[in-house]
Amino acid sequence: MSHKPLKLIIIAGSKGRVTVKYPYQEPLITPEFRGEIEIDPAKCIGCGACVKACPPNALELLESEKEVILRYFVGRCIFCWRCIDVCPVNAIKGTRNFELATDKHTDLYTLVVHTRTTCEICGKPFETTRMQRYIAEKSPVTEEYASICPDCRKRLLAEAVSARRVGISEHKE
Ligand code: SF4
Ligand code: SF4
């Protein structure tokens, strides 16, 4: 028989109580502690990178004809802070807040509402207005495509490639 459990009891007895009587006593919150996240609606561009990185789907993008809504449900959050690492505009910050109990379920949700742009060619709604502005600022070379949806971009590219192919074969003959 192993003496390990007995050893542990002796150690535990000599150390005394190591937990605190929360909520009557303040718990120890270390600088490394990870709590609820906060999303800055003024910075968010609605790109969805955080949604893709979130393991338990605590972040979601809800898309309608006119809007894209980033929804954070703290009830699902595991406080891993992966979303902070992937946000291209530093719109998410981590807090030490862990006291999240509430009797109003709406308190558990944070919504960031974005308007959507429509494709200049086919008229379909696609990315958010802020995302479009962000891409144009970061990559001015793509500016002429910024107002065109991905499907129309693909079609234009395919047409350009096939036009070039036809040009080459005509030149050979
Ligand atoms: S902290 Fe982790 S679980 Fe919570 S929203 Fe961010 S990625 Fe998702
Ligand atoms: S990654 Fe950042 S900018 Fe993109 S949707 Fe999430 S919070 Fe907004």
Render pLDDT for 80-115 as a digit per residue (tens, 0 to 9).
999 999 999 999 999 999 999 999 999 999 999 999
Domains of the chain: 30-165 (3.30.70.20)
Mutate to test the pocket of ligand 2, among 39, 61, 134 (most ligand atoms within 8 A of CB): 39
Confidence of residue 141 (pLDDT cuts 50, 70, 90): low
Q: Which residues contact 119 (CB under 8 A, 6 or more apart)?
A: 125, 126, 147, 148, 149, 151, 152
The answer, yes or no, to whether any atom of ligand 1 lies below 6 A from the CB of 86, is no
Q: Which residues contact 91 (CB under 8 A, 6 or more apart)?
A: 39, 40, 43, 44, 45
Between CA 62 and CA 72 the distance in angstroms is 11
pLDDT over 70 at 171, yes or no = no
Atom of ligand 1 nearest to the CA of 57: 8
pLDDT tens for each residue of 29-47: 999 999 999 999 999 999 9
Between CA 10 and CA 16 the distance in angstroms is 10
pLDDT over 90 at 173, yes or no = no
